Structure 1
Amino acid sequence: MANLWPPTRFWQYWALAGMVILTAAFWWGVEGYALFEGGGPRGQIADGLLRFSLLILTPALLLVWLVAAWLRRRVGDMGYWQMLGLVAMIWAGAVLVTRMLAA
């Protein structure tokens, strides 16, 4: 049986990334929902972006983080980090633009 301890460097980085991702997703879930319930942002673009980021991008970010073992076997270590980084940047951009438009 393979030695499972200590975890490989990949899983150590994955756990660190998870702390950031889970915190950010929870924060945006609460903050975005409060924006939505508080009368919503002004304008169709801001409203659509808020809904898209809450309903599509946040679950996508969490899903890519959660299926790390499956994705790692298919795209390799670097491919996984690139995919996670791409989804995280799209998510962060949508959150930033939504907050700018809602202000």
Structure 2
Amino acid sequence: MANPWPPTRFWQYWALAGMLVLTAAFWWSVTGYAQFESGGTRSQIADGLLRFSLLILTPALLLVWLAAAWLRRRVGDAGYWQMLGLVAMIWAGSVLVTRILAG
């Protein structure tokens, strides 16, 4: 079976989303790790949220983006975008709250 060219809209949007997801994950990994290595944060809540976002949420965001083909077959196009959006919003919220609490 020949690959259709140009790629479907799903894969075009997936590639665009990937630019945002990969850039954001890399940025937070570097920034968060530097903050963690410089002594963490002043608050235990911010420190726990920093660790959780670096160790759990950032890999979860990348895995949902990478598993697009597998998830698309199981939940459909709309379900995949809802799932990616949900994980991205949870991740962005945790990053925002961590940055606010860390000062």
TM-score by length of 2: 0.98
Instruction: Write the distance in 1 (CA, Å) between the matches of 2:29 and 2:81.
Output: 24
Aligned to 2:24: 24
Aligned to 1:47: 47
Which ranges in structure 1 are unaligned for 5 or more consecutive residues?
A: none
Aligned to 2:83: 83
TM superposition shift of 1:2: 3.6
Instruction: Write the distance in 1 (CA, Å) between the matches of 2:56 and 2:10.
Output: 26
TM superposition shift of 1:39: 1.1
TM superposition shift of 1:70: 0.1
Which ranges in structure 2 are unaligned for 5 or more consecutive residues?
A: none
Q: How many residues align?
A: 103
Aligned to 2:100: 100
Aligned to 1:9: 9
Instruction: Write the distance in 1 (CA, Å) between the matches of 2:69 and 2:19.
Output: 17
Of all paired residues, the percent bearing the same amino acid is 86
Query: What CA deviation, in whole Å up to 9, does each residue of 1:30-71 have, x standing for no partner?
Result: 000011011111111000000000000000000000000000
Letter in 2 for 1:44: Q
Query: Per the alignment, in what secondary structure is the counterpart of residue 40 of structure 1?
Result: coil
Query: How large is the Cα RMSD of the aligned pairs?
Result: 0.7
TM superposition shift of 1:102: 0.4
Instruction: Write the distance in 2 (CA, Å) between the matches of 1:6 and 1:48.
Output: 45
